[in-house]
Amino acid sequence: MATVAMKNITETPIATNIRESANKIWLAGLGAYAKTQEESEKLFQLLVEEGEKVEKQAKKAAEARFEEAKGKVVKFRGKASRQIGRLEELFQERIAQVLNRLGVPTQEDIQELTKRVEALNESIKSLKK
């Protein structure tokens, strides 16, 4: 008897309507899940493509900055090299002036003296004969 009563309750239009509504809700949930999966894959792929574009732009910008910096370094290196060369010249000039004031002979003076000594040696040799 309880089964007959239960069967009568479950076959009422309200119960059938509730079952159908619950089934539709369940199917709507499954559909939403499937749609979300599909859309999330599309969105993910779109984000990957956008990321690739941004990465390419960032690489181009970084390479441009690197080349610009490299050019500046080369330019600076040239200027620095010229300045160092000029400093060396000034240093040598100052050293030469100081040595001259102290009476230290220059290389040219020593070469001149060497020539004169050789000439004197030749003169002495010729006088000895």
The confidence score (pLDDT) of residue 107 equals 85
Between CA 33 and CA 87 the distance in angstroms is 78
Per-residue pLDDT reduced to its tens digit, 45-92: 999 999 999 999 999 999 999 999 998 998 999 898 899 999 999 988
Q: What is the dihedral of CA 97, 98, 104, 106, to 10 degrees?
A: -30
Q: How much of the chain exceeds pLDDT 70, in percent?
A: 91
Tokens (6 digits) for 99: 């040595």
**At which residue do the structure tokens 């009476």 appear?**
103
The confidence score (pLDDT) of residue 106 equals 84
* Averaged pLDDT for residues 99-121: 88
Length of the chain: 129
Mean pLDDT of the chain: 86
Assessment of whether the complete model's pTM goes beyond 0.75: no
